[in-house]
Amino acid sequence: MARKYFGTDGIRGEIGKFPMTPEFALKLGWAAGKVLADDGRSLVLIGKDTRISGYMLESALQAGLVAAGVSIRLLGPMPTPAVAYLTQAFRASAGIVISASHNPYQDNGVKFFSSEGVKLADDIEERIEEYLEQDCTVVASDKLGKVEFVKDAAGRYIEFCKRALPSHTALSGLRVVVDCANGATYHIAPNVLAELGADVITIANEPDGLNINQNCGATSLKSLQNAVQQYRADIGVALDGDGDRLMMVDHKGNIVDGDQALAIIAQHRLDEGTIGKHVVGTLMSNLGLEKAIENMGLQFHRADVGDRYVMKVMNETGAILGGEGSGHVIIHDRIPTGDGIIAALQVLSAIIDSGKTLCELKQVMTKYPQTLVNVRVAQREGDTGVDLDNDKIQEAVAQVEEQLGSRGRVLLRKSGTEPLVRVMVEGEDEAETKILADLIADAVRES
């Protein structure tokens, strides 16, 4: 069954426009509640980021869930991975996060976690969509759900994060600047780092409902780079609006992305003997990461883009490490979803144990230049109107691959959300990758 509402990361859109309306949120809460009630389960946790629209959607979801006979525990502003963890801790039927992650405040979204703290299975989302096409009903008054607020949710999650480091490991002596993106980690991340002994300078931790991800956080690092230099910090940590994404800055102000963080963690876990044999990236992961992982004697696997697909390949291979260059890093023996704070702690632990700076540790991976060209194409019947297998395009790809040999790679794919074809060429020489990417892009345009 083709899903009508759910994308790869829940349901998302601009507030006030379908489906991000209170009417739809109420219906969604009811539909999810009906599925859970059908399965004999009746407790849901709800967390949200700091967008002003979160209160509206939270109230509407509550009404729908309660009408279906499901009880609720409200967590308040809480990082996405915290909701995943607390869903397991409370033995809840499901967890709901109201967030649009790194998007601006005008957007919002709703995503679900199962009782195991992972994204809902496709068949569950399909059952919710079936109920979305039906009329709402209300259970008998004595069967209505109840709503309670979890007062110690933040404290529970802070303690969970701290347990991600061995009891003998402290962050004493490290000066860390943390950028909370004016999002859901504003009252979590600084406390975790400080309680573990770090000297913490915090920026973008005064959310007002409108400033989430605004010139701050994992998608806008200039402020963090400046702060690291200004305060002569050892490291900068940037989280996104819902706390599931991590980007870092070394003491020189240089950016360390998700691929580099994954390589650092992999080397540290290898040194500890706690990594297994597999690491998972995506089709977009830098070639330098693949080579670094292979140089460690480990196997590197590429999943489709999206943490849902990374997790799928991790489960198939038994990998405990996976992630994306955008900063989603999954450390499966800590928590079964991307967690920016947990990932940051793993990197900080590597710094403490090795005695090296972040700048030195990132040398475990040589980052290859990547050129990405987006070619806008005609849209036809919901798909991009171009056949990527036609002779002209494939001849261009073959020519580029022959020239690069083992020095690089080519990725050609259609966007899942826009009428675009994405051309990515990666190699040792940046100027060469630009020329070769344009060669393929021209073939796509002509086709």
Catalytic amino acids? Answer: 101
- DSSP bridge partners of 421: 375, 414
Cα–Cα distance, 13 to 212 (Å, whole number): 16
Which segments of 297-446 are extended strands (E)? Answer: 299-303, 321-323, 329-331, 370-376, 379-380, 383-384, 409-414, 420-426
Rg from Cα positions in the chain:
22
* Per-position b or e across 390-402, b if 16+ CB within 10 A of its CB: eeebeebbeebee
Amino acid letter, residue 109: G
Can you tell me the distance from the alpha carbon of 382 to that of 385, in angstroms, rounded to the nearest whole number? 9
> What are phi and psi for residue 136, nearest 5 degrees?
-70, 145
Q: What share of the chain is helix, strand, coil (3-state, %, to 5)?
A: 40, 20, 40
Question: CA 370 to CA 427: how far, in whole Å?
Answer: 7
Chain position carrying tokens 């859109």? 13
Q: Give 273: exposed, middle or buried? Use CB within 10 Å, 0-12, 13-18, 19+.
A: exposed
Tell me how far CA of residue 321 lies from CA of 157, 201, 324, in angstroms: 21, 29, 11
Cβ contact 351:361 at 8 Å:
yes
Are β-strands 94-98 and 107-114 bridged in parallel, bridged antiparallel, or unpaired? antiparallel
How far is residue 343's CA from residue 132's CA, in Å, rounded to a whole number? 36
Instruction: Using alpha carbons, select from 245, 244, 315, 239 the residue that is nearest to residue 280.
Output: 315
- Which two structure tokens, joined as six digits, stand for 412? 């050609």
